[in-house]
Structure 1
């Protein structure tokens, strides 16, 4: 969800680390090659919302959902303007092992930061700086596979 302020736009991320469901949704700066630190966190070590204040630009949204050991990873290119926030491109990847995402260091680190049972571990991502090549791999992946879904299990059959 987004909300406009004078110069920036408010975007919401989220996290949850409960018994059966684990989720994480973070914003990534294409320009700075890093996950953006949230303006505020509303919640506790189990579940909460992340509030971002960002300037109009293009960003990547990383979202992951885990239920009973099955993971869904979604990467989206987000175009943020003062008037609208639009998802321009998106790819979904269904997997069981984190190593399925190891072709992208950013995606692999993100997947490894999925909250555990009643604790979060994504704070370390905000300190990591990635290279231009790391970000370019993600953008090329989105360009090539926009609108598609991948499954680790389907490739094993």
Structure 2
């Protein structure tokens, strides 16, 4: 024990005793109560300041149930991976956007009408039953509309041809 720490409990004891002596006045019952309290403080201070080996101690911490020195493995993920979504949470598949636009109709060399769709800068002549890129199939070509089916989901897209003419 160092010398600077050895005088600390005695200084606290002296300060407490001087406060009690300055406050005490007249009443003998009050003086006896103060003396008993001073004795308790002195005994408690002496019990905390030194143990049997003569070293200083402090009062034990309150029990919390948590080990502050527990070794934590920081290399593994702290939380387990979430389970895969259940079928109820899986969103329904959505049909792809139809990438073609109606361009127009033109009479062919044999006199039949040829219907054209355009994609980017490419003209695509279509016929009924023809399969297009992206999983689309032309189901029917009418005078006022073209029906295209997205085969993977069996979803139909109707193209109004009257608005373009």
The TM-score, its normalising length taken from structure 1, stands at 0.21
Structure with more strand by fraction: 1
| Higher RCO (C-alpha under 8 Å, 6+ residues apart) | 1
The TM-score, its normalising length taken from structure 2, stands at 0.21
Structure whose CA Rg is larger = 2
